[in-house]
Structure 1
Amino acid sequence: LVGDVRVEEARRLAEIYFERYPEGKRSPEIVTAEPAQHGPRKNIRFLKGARTPLVRIGFHGARMKTKDFYALDVMTMALSLGRSARITQNIINKGLAVEAWAYNPDNRYGGMIVLGGSPNEPDEVKKGNLNTDEKRQAYVNACNTLENTLIAEAEKMKHELVSERELKRIKKLNQREFLDRMRENEELASALATMEVQAGWRYLTDYLKRISEVTPQEIRDVARKYIRIENKTSVYVIPGGKPDRPAQRYTEVRSIGIAGARKIVKPATFHNNSIYPTPVGWKHPLSFDRVPKKIVYPKAQTARIGNTPIFYLADSELPLIDLTILVKAGDVDIDDEKTGLADILSNTIIQGGTQRYSPSELAQVLDENAIRVSISVDEEVSSIHLSVMKEDWEKGLDLLKEILTRPAFDPAVLNVVKEKEIVSLKRQGENAHTVAMREGMIWHFDGHPYGRDPLIGIKTIPSITRDDLTAFMRNYFVPSNIVAAVSGDVTFAEAQAGLKKLLEALPQGRSPERNLNDPKETPSVLALIPKPGQVQSQVVLVLPGFKRTHPAFWKSRLLTDILGGSDSLMYTRLRDDLGLVYSAGFFQTYKWNAGILIGYIGCKGDKTSTAIMETLKIMDSLRKNVPEKDLELKRLDALNSFVFNVDTPAQLVEVYSHYYMRGEPLNTLEKIQDAYRHATRKELRELAAQLFDPSKVQIFIVADKMTRVKTSDGTERTLQEDLQSLAKRIGFPYREIALR
């Protein structure tokens, strides 16, 4: 139990509701001894429809709380924790793999060290003209090469002592990660509960001490003890070709959910019918009425440094300081011929070093000081995040200034990042949900930057240069185009003094004006993207919604939650009542110049048309009537859970900076609660009439078009034929889009 509650109150409630029950006896814990492994094992699986080869290598390890476990933790941290970790520097940054890592997971009964990753696309696959068997073998060879590379990196730990400098870096980074787990109530409660089951909650109280006691010799000893060929199990997942076994039968495992709660009728009396005595103060669980209070959030202190607004909230609970800088610059400000520049910039600006620090030197100095810094260029806003220990505030700002004003974009790193991005785009087609969403956005925002096809980047990324990246930053990363937010164990005066130096070092002047028109309305469609071997259909439905600036935006969010939130009308009807889907929902989101309603259905292939048709019926029903009970349940859910939307001062001050940048009122959090409290059935029904027009829906389905579907008259046809029939029935044009 973590949060704004006193121990005495928690104890009082525990005594009322739990003390009367007999303690009982703990079940005996019998652990079956695992037979010793006497040689390496390898398993290769061929996954039809996959595009990403995967490698996993496991070594039997040590169980939690043993001396060896802590040493193995530090060993895997040396390999994989932080920007300067060995695997990151020697494998990822050198372009030897798309992904690589090491991990020593917590295990109550027995340990396992895991090395993993994904190899680069083999050269022979890039060239094409391979038959199925040749392609599969090329991927197997690539996985084998990556396995050998990962093991070679781990093998070094058996022969070389970790330096004191590296060990100090690892321990400080680990301390920082440990502090981060303490920041949010939910995460701390989860950690305490998990540790209690695995090793006892007190494991957390001495974990840092035990890690601090690990020596270089102990790391070498556990590497020699556990990183042995006869102790190894390797697994490869290989794309393409026929599966090595038939597809598993699709089954639904269903249980009563929260939706069932709406069917519970309150008893006539709230007497305790238990065989145990009723304590003083006891109340029946169904007697409680939730009456959520309006949350009033603390206002941030504000100031301006030149043309840059600053938001600040103090937080001295932990010795940490967080800085967020928002830049009005994103993918929408980039021309089509430079598609991919946003991702390349995001992934190279830190990894590529600076004019003062080489890539490896910058990684090392950031890790040695446990400084977290990230720069992300997203669709409409770029976000710069800096998080430091209190004593490293000035040092963190100096390093951020170096990164923003003197980036090197190291050519070798730039080439590696571009290659990884191209590989990632080419592999996108294996994720059916990603494909459905991508094609939905391309259609819905046709001709607008919001609808730009990300796969254009496969052609444009190779031509992106260091000069392109530098020019983007020089043009847009200027103080007049920035909003900053600071929170943590720092005074407002200290925060302003540090930020003033940073902002004065940036290029001055004004950024280019953003001239972004509202997207035009696009027609309805039912589009199938055929994906052979796809057992479960992935369906995305898209509708135009309200902009965030629309006065009814938050009420329409409540309406959408009734339609497709957790335990919503859609989920209850499609899953609980009819058993058609394993997942279904609808949610409201937004761009700066557009609102969007997005639906999702995941179902067995032969139920696709039925699930879509039922969804359209539910949408149409809300245009006639919004059920009162569902509205009240969703209203209470929204208001009771509202406190979790913004959980820390760092999150709150960042929210204020986003509101300011978008031109929204700073009291928007209060306005949202008011909208939820005062929304009426009549208002929501009128909104549903505007928004939930089944004739305007755009439907995108990724599925195996040859899936057999039984019709109502008992005959069979393919899913392709079934969807064509559905499109005709609802009056939609039918399209097929090639899987990419």
Structure 2
Amino acid sequence: MTLADATLVAPRSAALAAAASPAKANAVVSARGIEAWHVESPVVPLIALAFTFEGGAAQDPAGKSGATQMLARLLDEGAGPHESDAFQEQLAARAIELSFHAGPDAIGGSLKTLVAHADEAIGLLALALAQPRFDPAAIERVRGQMLAGLRYQQNDPGVLASRRFFAEAYPDHPYGRPSAGTIESVSSITRDDLVALHARLMSRTRVKVAAVGAIDADALARALDRAFGDLGEGGPLAVVPETRLAGLGRRLVVDLDVPQSVIRFGTHGVAWRDPDFIPAYVLNHVLGGGAFTSRLFQEVREKRGLAYSVGTSLVSHRASAMTWGYTATKNERVAECLTVIQDEIARLTGDGPSDDELQKAKDYLTGSYALGFDTSTKIAHQLVQIAFEGLGMDYIARRNGLIAAVTQDDIRRAARRTLGDGRLLVVAAGRPTDI
């Protein structure tokens, strides 16, 4: 696989920050107007495609949460003339990897195939996208799998804490509904719901595509029209209103008879498209995103032994963003654990990281970036996500330079916008004795 500028240079110099990125992507537009970001690499006879359509679980019909996830799981359960078993046999016989997934704002998937089987792979992808069968037997099988998962999760403290957290963070908003649905909502989804949702979401005008591997621009243009050209323009998407995290300062308990409480906590964030995202990303690495080096890991686990794991991440949706965190500790130590977390947030907001902490965070984030591009599939997924976010085809080349240029002033500004006054929405699933 071709990687440009893979050798790291002096990490302490913003001007010389390495662009650990795949070979330069080019735009390919098919005869029917479908665009893909393309990285040609003939080293291995493989082709990887990633694609995403605007509109995900936030578009689930009222009372039918889980519908988009069910749709994604049914796209390869029979298509065109092939029933489910026959379709899967077609994939397996040629070692074609095809999968679909759904998130809050998008539904998408990926395809990986040997060049020798590219024609068959593209044909099967086209059928899955444009002509899914939605056979009753397949629907009931997938419904049964989803319901079994939901029943299993009824006593999972991590799932219960996360569901309650998002319900409280986004009340009366699509992001507050569980994307996997509930037992009641999944049970109520009909074939007509799935057909209508498919017609609305699968739009050739709202798809982002990335292709990486041993395929040239002309062949890719033809493949794009075969794979996506039979799709319609889709239906109108429901407006997902802009929102901010609710419930800051609240501590809520999901009562569960377990010896350890699972904790979810969060506060405001900035979206990936926001100019302050990169400073917030570096700040988050210092706070809780840096695995063994983060402040929360050192203070919560290493110094006090309160938890086995603790961390934070930035969550970026189309209509909201948050800084989201997790940990788990003994019921009797929940209050102590939360105090340590909030103290570290306050200290980081008030004083900022040390110059050494900031530099180490930037060194790690720039130096490790190439690890996300070590396979064709990873490159394709990175490119399609960047396209979906509207960050520009040159973002990968610019990204390390943006991180290297982050200053203490940038960090303080990001801290004010995200960590703010330090108030958190906290949900603990268990039986904490002291909150």
Q: Does the 8 A contact of 1:373 with 1:387 survive in 2?
A: yes
Distance 2:79 2:2 in 1: 42
> Which residues in structure 2 correspond to 1:568-647 (within 5 Å)?
568-626=294-352, 627-647=354-374
- Partner residue in 2 for 1:32: none
User: Over the residues paired in the alignment, what is the CA RMSD in angstroms?
Assistant: 2.4
Corresponding position: 1:703 with 2:430: yes
Corresponding position: 1:451 with 2:176: yes
Distance 2:20 2:302 in 1: 37
- Partner residue in 2 for 1:361: 86
Corresponding position: 1:323 with 2:49: yes
1:376 alignment partner, one of 101, 107, 110: 101
Distance 1:489 1:690 in 2: 44
Q: Alpha-carbon deviations, 1:318-362, whole Å to 9, x = none?
A: 2211122221121112222221111211222212x2341122211
C-alpha change, 1:355 and 1:579, in structure 2 (3 Å) is: closer
C-alpha change, 1:660 and 1:3, in structure 2 (3 Å) is: closer
Q: Does the 8 A contact of 1:310 with 1:484 survive in 2?
A: yes
> Which residues in structure 2 correspond to 1:203-218 (within 5 Å)?
none
- Partner residue in 1 for 2:247: 523
Distance 1:581 1:606 in 2: 12
C-alpha change, 1:431 and 1:510, in structure 2 (3 Å) is: closer
Q: Work out which structure has the larger RCO, using CA pairs closer than 8 Å and 6 or more positions apart in sequence.
A: 2
Q: Does the 8 A contact of 1:318 with 1:489 survive in 2?
A: yes
> Which residues in structure 2 correspond to 1:682-721 (within 5 Å)?
682-705=409-432, 719=433
> Which residues in structure 2 correspond to 1:304-453 (within 5 Å)?
304-305=29-30, 306-351=32-77, 353-453=78-178
| Displacement of 1:3 | 11
Distance 1:455 1:290 in 2: 42
Q: Does the 8 A contact of 2:68 with 2:197 survive in 1?
A: no
C-alpha change, 1:689 and 1:399, in structure 2 (3 Å) is: closer
- Partner residue in 2 for 1:500: 225
Distance 2:200 2:234 in 1: 8
- Partner residue in 2 for 1:62: none
Q: Alpha-carbon deviations, 1:466-500, whole Å to 9, x = none?
A: 22222222222121121222121222211211222
Distance 1:563 1:551 in 2: 20
Distance 1:607 1:628 in 2: 32
- Partner residue in 1 for 2:386: 659
Aligned identity (percent) is 18
| Displacement of 1:671 | 3.7
Q: Does the 8 A contact of 1:616 with 1:694 survive in 2?
A: no
Q: Does the 8 A contact of 1:300 with 1:653 survive in 2?
A: no
> Which residues in structure 2 correspond to 1:476-515 (within 5 Å)?
476-507=201-232, 509-515=233-239
Distance 1:623 1:560 in 2: 11
Corresponding position: 1:680 with 2:404: no
- Partner residue in 2 for 1:550: 274
TM-score relative to the length of structure 2: 0.90
- Partner residue in 2 for 1:154: none
Q: Does the 8 A contact of 1:529 with 1:701 survive in 2?
A: yes
Distance 2:204 2:47 in 1: 21
Gap runs ≥5 in structure 2: none
Q: Does the 8 A contact of 1:563 with 1:619 survive in 2?
A: yes
Distance 1:536 1:317 in 2: 50
| Displacement of 1:303 | 2.3
Q: Does the 8 A contact of 2:307 with 2:328 survive in 1?
A: yes
SS at match of 1:416: helix
SS at match of 1:501: helix
Q: Does the 8 A contact of 1:321 with 1:488 survive in 2?
A: yes
1:535 alignment partner, one of 251, 259, 265: 259
Distance 2:41 2:380 in 1: 11
| Displacement of 1:423 | 2.1
| Displacement of 1:694 | 4.8
Q: Alpha-carbon deviations, 1:609-666, whole Å to 9, x = none?
A: 1111011111111122122221122121112112113333443344333323332222
Distance 2:315 2:20 in 1: 24
C-alpha change, 1:307 and 1:491, in structure 2 (3 Å) is: closer
C-alpha change, 1:316 and 1:600, in structure 2 (3 Å) is: same
C-alpha change, 1:535 and 1:694, in structure 2 (3 Å) is: farther
Distance 2:104 2:238 in 1: 13
Q: Does the 8 A contact of 1:481 with 1:511 survive in 2?
A: no
C-alpha change, 1:290 and 1:691, in structure 2 (3 Å) is: closer
Q: Does the 8 A contact of 2:212 with 2:380 survive in 1?
A: yes
C-alpha change, 1:408 and 1:528, in structure 2 (3 Å) is: same
Distance 1:687 1:427 in 2: 39
SS at match of 2:401: helix
Distance 2:277 2:132 in 1: 41
1:669 alignment partner, one of 375, 396, 403: 396
TM-score relative to the length of structure 1: 0.54
| Displacement of 1:513 | 3.9
SS at match of 1:696: coil
C-alpha change, 1:656 and 1:455, in structure 2 (3 Å) is: closer
Q: Alpha-carbon deviations, 1:160-206, whole Å to 9, x = none?
A: xxxxxxxxxxxxxxxxxxxxxxxxx9xxxxxxxxxxxxxxxxxxxxx
| Displacement of 1:426 | 2.2
Distance 1:686 1:463 in 2: 47
Q: Does the 8 A contact of 1:623 with 1:686 survive in 2?
A: no
Distance 1:615 1:694 in 2: 13
C-alpha change, 1:684 and 1:404, in structure 2 (3 Å) is: closer
Letter in 2 for 1:561: H
| Displacement of 1:431 | 2.1
Q: Does the 8 A contact of 2:112 with 2:377 survive in 1?
A: no
Q: Does the 8 A contact of 2:286 with 2:294 survive in 1?
A: yes
SS at match of 2:344: helix
| Displacement of 1:596 | 0.9
Letter in 2 for 1:492: A
Q: Alpha-carbon deviations, 1:53-77, whole Å to 9, x = none?
A: xxxxxxxxxxxxxxxxxxxxxxxxx
Q: Does the 8 A contact of 2:99 with 2:109 survive in 1?
A: yes
SS at match of 1:480: coil
C-alpha change, 1:650 and 1:374, in structure 2 (3 Å) is: closer
Q: Does the 8 A contact of 1:548 with 1:592 survive in 2?
A: no
- Partner residue in 2 for 1:201: none
| Displacement of 1:695 | 4.9
C-alpha change, 1:594 and 1:653, in structure 2 (3 Å) is: same
| Displacement of 1:575 | 1.8
SS at match of 1:645: helix
TM superposition outliers: structure 1 runs of 4+ over 6 Å: none
- Partner residue in 2 for 1:100: none
C-alpha change, 1:693 and 1:368, in structure 2 (3 Å) is: same
- Partner residue in 2 for 1:160: none
> Which residues in structure 2 correspond to 1:156-195 (within 5 Å)?
none
Distance 1:607 1:503 in 2: 54
Letter in 1 for 2:300: L
- Partner residue in 2 for 1:135: none
Distance 1:455 1:473 in 2: 17
Distance 1:645 1:511 in 2: 34
